[in-house]
Every structure is written in structure tokens, then in C-alpha cells.
């Protein structure tokens, strides 16, 4: 059973065309939801962490929001340099043995065309 599901798997946008990426989770006892950006052949780059429903974080053209079931990563007026894979991950309470482990979704591959 998937605990973290990201959609869509791939998203193609024109430069300036705003859109949103979705991350839904089914874990209970959420301790934190994280968004990372990963470029090809590189390690993930930390973007945001959200801890409670209603929380929002912003950074340049990106805005992350959190509800009790899902998170959205909104991209406003994207540029070609925003092209990357965006990963969502959660840390949850697993009966005291979570050790802060991240459970990742499969990612959304974003391509922004000029």
C-alpha cells in the first residue's frame, strides 16, 4: 500500500504557465512533510518542510501548502530553470521506530518549455 503518492507523474508547461503538483499521503501521525527538488544526476535539494494542516511556505516562484491528506506545490510563472523532478516525502510516527526516516513518493518530472 502506497503511503505517499505524487501526481501527475510528469508535467509539461510553457514558460509562464502556472500549475500545481500534488502529494497525497495515507500515513497517520504525520511528523513532517518535505518537498525536494532533484536535478538529473544530483542529490535532492531541500525546498520546504510543513508540519501542520493549514501551513504554507513560499520561496520565489514556489509555494507549498498542507492539508490533513495532501500537500500541493504551486509553481507560479515557471521558467525553464524550474525543470526538475520534484519529490515529496513524509516523516511519520511508526510505533516509535521511525528514527526520522523519510518515505518518498515517486516524484513528478516537471519540464518547462521556453
DSSP codes, 23-89: EEE--SSEEEEEEEEE-TTS--EEEEEE-STT-EEEETTEEEEE-SSEEEEEE-S--GGG-EEEEEE
The site string for another protein over 23-52 (x = CB under 8 A, - otherwise) reads: ---------x-x-x----xxxxxx--x-x-
**Residue 96 touching another protein (CB under 8 A):** no
Q: How far is the CB of 18 from another protein (least distance, A)?
A: 25
Pick the closest to residue 88 from 42, 44, 23 (CA basis): 23
Please tell me the distance from the alpha carbon of residue 66 to that of residue 52, in angstroms, as a whole number.
7
Selected range binding another protein among 13-21, 65-73, 74-82, 94-102, rule: CB under 8 A: 94-102
Q: How far is the CB of 93 from another protein (least distance, A)?
A: 14
Contact positions vs another protein (CB under 8 A): 32, 34, 36, 41-46, 49, 51, 87, 91, 99-102, 104-107
Amino acid at each position: 500500500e502506497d503511503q505517499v503518492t505524487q501526481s501527475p507523474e510528469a508535467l509539461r508547461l510553457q514558460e509562464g504557465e502556472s500549475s500545481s503538483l500534488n502529494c497525497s499521503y495515507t500515513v497517520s501521525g504525520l511528523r513532517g512533510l518535505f518537498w525536494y527538488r532533484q536535478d538529473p544526476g544530483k542529490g535532492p535539494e531541500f525546498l520546504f518542510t510543513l508540519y501542520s494542516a493549514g501551513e504554507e511556505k513560499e520561496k520565489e516562484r514556489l509555494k507549498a501548502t498542507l492539508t490533513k491528506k495532501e500537500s500541493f506545490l504551486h509553481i507560479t510563472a515557471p521558467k525553464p530553470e524550474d525543470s526538475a523532478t520534484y519529490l515529496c516525502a513524509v516523516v511519520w510516527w511508526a510505533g516509535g521506530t521511525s528514527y526520522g526516516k523519510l518515505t518518498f513518493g515517486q516524484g513528478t518530472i516537471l519540464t518547462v518549455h521556453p
